[in-house]
Amino acid sequence: MTEAASSPPGELDLRREPDRVRYEPTALPEHGVAPVIAALGRSHINGGALIARFRAVDFDEVVAWYAARNRFAMIGFFPQFLGSPGVRAALPELRIPDTLGDDLGFTMSWPGTLSLDGELAATIAGGGAYEDEGYVPVSKVEAKRLGVAFVDALVGDRHDDFRVFRSYQPWAGWFWGSVHDSTDVLIDVANAEITLLTITDTA
């Protein structure tokens, strides 16, 4: 989503105009991503992690103007994106409710992708609420390696192009409503692509 105007184009509320942006699933990198999802599945045995990536299509210059200035919450982007047909079809296991609230708790991570590898490493190494018999916790060194590979696969050296937003709310039926709930939305503003990562486990 690139900047297309130099002055505010007017008000925009995607919750009232959900068809202003459509989302199509796009492939994730082959390497770096799957090992993190697998590790989270082993460490969070009653929940795990889900991930998908989408490309925003059919959006106009008004949407682009707000996106270029990181005003996603202002235009109701998060409930519109998460409740969109594209996300529902790609991740049916989320059990997204028919209607999402206006405030899903997303805040912008100012370090963005620069700290994402460490945050993922801490989640993997810290584990969930329970462990399977015989489970060997991932060392902090290995968890950090996994986190770095994940961010490298998704971001490469284009950290300036990404915005990271995070919520700890259980906004869909898949979440357990515990301290282990989290949702990361990584927005690649240069390519109009959005990666959705959700994590949960029982308390």
Residue 58 has pLDDT above 70, yes or no: yes
* Confidence (pLDDT) at 60: 86
Neighbours of 125 (CB within 10 A): 19
Per-residue pLDDT of 64-121, as tens digits, reads: 899 999 999 989 999 999 999 999 999 999 999 999 999 999 999 999 999 999 999 9
- The answer as to CATH 3.40.1130 being correct for domain 19-200 is no
What is the DSSP annotation of 38-93?
HHHHHHSTTSEEEEEEEEEES--HHHHHHHHTT-TTTTTHHHHHHTSHHHHHH-GG
pTM: 0.93
Residue 5 has pLDDT above 80, yes or no: no
Q: Residue 12: which pLDDT band, with cuts at 50, 70 and 90?
A: confident
Rounded to the nearest 10 degrees, what angle do helices 34-43 and 116-126 cross at?
Answer: 30
Structural domain boundaries in the chain:
19-200
What gap in Å lies between CA 203 and CA 200, rounded to an integer? 9
105 exposed, middle or buried (CB, 10 Å; 0-12, 13-18, 19+)? middle
Per-residue pLDDT of 141-193, as tens digits, reads: 999 999 999 999 999 999 999 999 999 999 999 999 999 999 999 999 999 99
